[in-house]
Structure 1
Amino acid sequence: MDSDNLTNHSRPTTDAILTVRCIKSFEYRTCKNLVLHVNLEVMTVGELKDMIREKIKTTSGWKPYLNVKFDTLKLYTVAHGHKTQNLIINMDDDDKLIFKDDSATLSWLGFENETEVSFFNFEAYEEYKKNPDIKW
């Protein structure tokens, strides 16, 4: 075995690619994905929310989403993890999967490379959960 390979191990990177499903309407399954490059060790939930809101305001093609009051992040899936039957949001385990502490770092919450999260309005989500019908 090459001794250079033994001494040149580097710490795994904390940089990650996240996919954010910005949900405008649960009933009509209206959402748009935003792909972000972040550092999981330093970025907090609050900073991620602010970054997403800023991208929505400043990136072309997001005008229909400007009137949505995005306030909640929820885990959809991690890389190679189980995916839900619902195409835009994981409706299971709200207590575990909704990130309520804006000061928590993403790595502490278990985010990893290729994590997918949903970003939405909590009141709209609560209404949808009462009657989760899909409209056309």
Structure 2
Amino acid sequence: MTGATLTVRVIRNFEYRTLKNVVFHDIDLATTTVDQFKKIIDERIQTDPSLKIYRTTHFDTLKIYVKAQQHKTQNLAINLDHDDWILNDGAKTLSLCGIENETELSYFELAAYKAYQANPVQKWL
């Protein structure tokens, strides 16, 4: 199966847990590269009215949050474990990165993630 459904957590802020889940249908895992999928996500952010507040954030990193039928992490925004799940190679296809149908991904700014990882404190207004 190559036409997959993927859920992407678009994360604007880790501390305040400002994020939105966006579902992408019919993604060809065998031919779509990481960089191509980032462009697809960026295009959705720029055109979807419900994502308007995310348009000023610089997103540069994709990370697997959880694969289908696996246990989710306690952190509702991002999986702080498994830094090897960060998709660094933009030329690799999604299937070569281990992404399967119904995988959940996080899309965020790497510098903000590193800062949050060093001090994972939730702030509430």
Tell me which interval the TM-score lies in, with the shorter structure as reference length.
Answer: over 0.9
Q: Alignment partner of 2:12: what SS?
A: strand
2:56 alignment counterpart: 67
User: What value does the CA root-mean-square deviation take over the aligned residues?
Assistant: 0.7
Give a deviation string over 1:117-136, Cα, whole Å, max 9, x none.
Answer: 00000011111112111000
| Gaps in structure 1 of 5+ consecutive residues | 1-12
Give a deviation string over 1:73-131, Cα, whole Å, max 9, x none.
Answer: 0000011012111001000021x100000000011111111000000000111111121
| Gaps in structure 2 of 5+ consecutive residues | none
Give a deviation string over 1:10-35, Cα, whole Å, max 9, x none.
Answer: xxx21100000000000001100110
TM-score (norm 1): 0.88
Q: Alignment partner of 1:76: what SS?
A: strand
2:105 alignment counterpart: 117
Give aligned pairs, total.
Answer: 123
Give a deviation string over 1:20-79, Cα, whole Å, max 9, x none.
Answer: 000000000110011002010110000000000010001111111011100000000011
Out of 57, 66, 69, the residue aligned to residue 77 of structure 1 is: 66
State percent identity of aligned pairs. 51
Out of 10, 16, 22, the residue aligned to residue 28 of structure 1 is: 16
Distance, in Å, in 1 between the alignment partners of 2:114 and 2:66 is: 20
- Ranges of 4+ aligned residues in structure 1 off by more than 6 Å: none
TM-score (norm 2): 0.96
Q: Alignment partner of 1:61: what SS?
A: helix
